A and B are shown apart, each in its own frame.
Chain A
Amino acid sequence: MTETATLFLALALIPLPPLAAAAVLLFMPGRLRRPAGAIAVVAQALALFASGTVLVRVVAGGDGFREVLNFTWFQLGAETVVPLGLLVDATNAPVLLMVSLVGLLVFIYSIAYMGGDPRAVRFFCFLSFFSAAMLGLLVANSLLLLFICWELVGLASYLLIGFWFQKPAAARAARKAFIVTRIGDLGLFLGMIWLYREAGTLLFYDGGAGVLETAVLGGLAAGAAGGMTAATAIALLLFIGAAGKSGQVPFHVWLPDAMEGPTPVSALIHAATMVAAGVFLVARAYPLFEASATALSVVAWVGAATALLGACIAVAQREIKRILAYSTVSQLGFMMLSLGVGGPVAALFHLLAHAFFKALLFLGAGSVSHGCGEEKDVLRMGGLGRRMPLTFACYGIGMMALAGFPFFFSGFWSKEAILHAAQAWPVSPGPFWIALAATFLTAFYMSRQMLLVFFGRARSEAAAQAHESPRLMTAPLVILAALSVLPLVVATPAWPWFEALVRGGEAQWALSRLLAPEVWPLLAGSILLVGAGVGLAWWIYHPGRREAAGRDPLEDRLGAGHRVLAEELYWDRTYDFTVVRACRWSGRLAAALDRWIWGGAVALAAALARLFSALADRLDRRGLNHGFDLGCAGLRAGGIGLHRAHRGQLHFLLTTLGVGAVGLLLLLAWL
């Protein structure tokens, strides 16, 4: 087998094992919980192995490595061919490895976390299904295939958020997530249709004819319609889809509610992988976005707004997972910002780094709640550092990576790269300053959470009784903690290996680059900002403080502002008052229209039809039927008469003959 064939075999083998596992688990009896977990884990491990093989091949491939395998899905008529394709390059190969690796760790964690749930088999089935769809999304070389997988991960997300559907909040959150992302998907769908109309294909790369290749992009950038080029319009429509999936303002409202799902789901889908699909889509279609400066500006500004708003709201939340959810929103905003200001490599690296440490934080949060009796309110925790040392250590690493503690955490360098890209954006300095503010807030809210959860004294009975989680849960935490640190070596300014991999070129090791005049002031500045954030948190939440139980000291300092933040800027309520209410009223209007206007018309038509049928019935019975009966009687009488003539009664015949002859004679005589 040639090398390319092996590569595509490996590529196809990435999404297939989880898909097969999902299919098997779908028909597995519900009591086989342990084998179900084992099957899912083994399938995921296979996917991980295949991803590893592919990544090694991509790294070995060197500059601008890209392999494409297109095939015909189906054909309509003579010329309309619908092709799909697989693609591997430096953009998706690291993400593939990340998704399968985080997936594997979350699967292992789930064996412990969901082991006692009566529907654990179904849970693993959904998880495997999600994993297959997500991996399929990453390897797609066709916007169509990507869109199919995109919808499938949406479905998996819906099923998993609502996994405990007996909880009304979970069922509602699942519906909300599904509907809100669907609104975004509408944009993606329209963009896809438009793109097909303009380019006649949906393949990303197709030997020069794909939509991300210069020939098509030139055509898209040239044609203008309604004040913007087709490239701008399509890119913006695609971005609406990406914003819906990645929880960008104003579609972010579903993401915090999605935390009603089981914690492994939050870690895998709503922190590490699916929500990053929007960022991945923009990164994948980056040549298209690059063809339109307007679209990139929109991406940058939406990303910046999301980064800041998410961080602000996270400051005032009380639920441990909700803080992390808003933190995810904020970090996704960072990624979009980076894409918008022309730093796709930084965005991709932040995506990878964030996936590891955010999965770590979510799994850690799950371990924390698991340890202290499903408590979720950080104000009712405290002092858990002593009782859950391993969780504490891992969580600490994740928190420092997210907050951007200097030098030894991947999150620091990825955020640094983003800030650097934002600073270099020639269009406006706004996103850069917003990103700096968000960096400060990130350090603040993560320190706040850390101090409230792990330091001080226990503020509730459950927290005082807390215990460390089982080994099956802490092992993934340790691995993820290691992964929150390790990737840093490939993407520091001193050794920009990752950038060289994605962009092409050779990475040179040069520690002196850290001290280059365009690098060090920003490094120092962001370290100062992080320090300020942590210091402020320590000042407000230091462990020795005296406070009323269950009351946030920030509340007294911020006053009304805190209330606004705690209510999440009244975003949900605004939607309730506007969009939801408008939908409901238009629904009511439509129902009334339906019932009275259309329903009346239908009732009238029915009454008329009934009247006519009654008339027809009467006509039938009295007219036609009676006439027919008469006709029949006549025929019968005639038949009887004729029958008599043909009975062979000789005398009758002769009499008739005689009478007839006489009659004829008389007729002759008369004439």
Chain B
Amino acid sequence: MITLQLVLLVSSALFCLGLAIVLLRRNAIIMLIGIEVMLAAANLNFIAFWRYGAEPGSLTGVVFALFSIAVAAAEAAVGLALILLVYRHFRTIDPGRLPVAHD
């Protein structure tokens, strides 16, 4: 039997994994992937709270998750476009080595 706690535990693990990717990697694309992982964890929570919630029949959680995924897709598109432009301009996509952020 799969309980709510078990799902939340999985989603937390997923979030931490995403966070670790964002914090540890120096590649902007990988960091974007990490953000997507964290978002997936959040979506998993939406589904879980809907499935184990008071009204599992009204499909609200699924719709919310679908919207969230759509927004995340748009966001990823914008992010990738930005990364592409940054690469063209600076020849690097390591955010620590971007000169704009220095002093």
Contact = CB atoms under 8 A, between A and B. Distances in A.
Interface stretch (B42-50, B54-62, B95-103): B95-103
A647 B102 CA distance: 5
Interface of B is mostly: helix
Contacts of B26: 651
A587 interface: no
Interface in A644-671: 647-651, 654-655, 658
B19 interface: yes
A647 B103 contact: yes
Contacts of B23: 651, 654-655, 658
Contacts of A648: 98, 100-102
Interface in A615-666: 643, 647-651, 654-655, 658
A interface secondary structure, majority: helix
Contacts of B98: 648
Nearest to A655: B23
A654 B98 CA distance: 16
B85 to A, nearest CB: 17
Interface of A: 643, 647-651, 654-655, 658
Contact of A651 (B96, B102, B103): B96
In this complex, which of A643, A647, A649, A651 has the most chain B Cβ atoms within 10 angstroms of its Cβ?
Answer: A651
A655 B19 CA distance: 9
Contacts of A643: 103
Nearest to A657: B23
Given A649-B101, A651-B23, 20 more contacts: A643-B103, A647-B101, A647-B102, A647-B103, A648-B98, A648-B100, A648-B101, A648-B102, A649-B96, A650-B95, A650-B96, A650-B101, A651-B26, A651-B95, A651-B96, A654-B22, A654-B23, A655-B23, A658-B19, A658-B23
Interface in B1-38: 19, 22-23, 26
Nearest to A661: B19
Interface string B69-103: 00000000000000000000000000110101111
Nearest to B99: A648
B88 to A, nearest CB: 19
19 contacts: A643-B103, A647-B101, A647-B102, A647-B103, A648-B98, A648-B101, A648-B102, A649-B96, A649-B101, A650-B95, A650-B96, A650-B101, A651-B23, A651-B95, A651-B96, A654-B22, A655-B23, A658-B19, A658-B23
Contacts of A654: 22-23
A649 B22 CA distance: 13
A343 B95 CA distance: 123
A364 to B, nearest CB: 106
A660 to B, nearest CB: 13
A475 to B, nearest CB: 105
Contacts of B19: 658
Nearest to A648: B101
Nearest to A651: B96
A654 B26 CA distance: 12
A108 B38 CA distance: 126
Contacts of A650: 95-96, 101
Contacts of B95: 650-651
Contacts of B100: 648
Q: Which 5 pairs show the lowest CB-CB distances between chains A and B?
A: A648-B101, A650-B95, A654-B23, A655-B23, A649-B96
Nearest to B20: A658
Contacts of B22: 654
B35 to A, nearest CB: 11
Nearest to A646: B103
A401 to B, nearest CB: 112
B23 to A, nearest CB: 6
A530 to B, nearest CB: 119
A649 B19 CA distance: 17
B16 to A, nearest CB: 10
Contacts of A651: 23, 26, 95-96
Contacts of A655: 23
Interface centre among A649, A650, A655, A658 (most CB of B within 10 A): A650
B1 to A, nearest CB: 27
A649 B97 CA distance: 8
A453 to B, nearest CB: 111
Contacts of A647: 101-103
A655 B25 CA distance: 12
A651 B23 CA distance: 6
A233 to B, nearest CB: 92
A649 B26 CA distance: 11
A668 to B, nearest CB: 15
B32 to A, nearest CB: 13
Contacts of B103: 643, 647
Nearest to A654: B23
A650 B97 CA distance: 10
A185 B102 CA distance: 90
Nearest to B25: A651
Nearest to B95: A650
Candidate in B23, B102, B103 with the most chain A CB atoms within 10 angstroms: B23
B14 to A, nearest CB: 16
A651 B103 CA distance: 15
A445 to B, nearest CB: 111
A643 B19 CA distance: 25
A655 B22 CA distance: 9
Nearest to A652: B96
Nearest to B24: A651
A658 B20 CA distance: 10
A110 B4 CA distance: 138
B83 to A, nearest CB: 13
A650 B98 CA distance: 10
Contacts of B96: 649-651
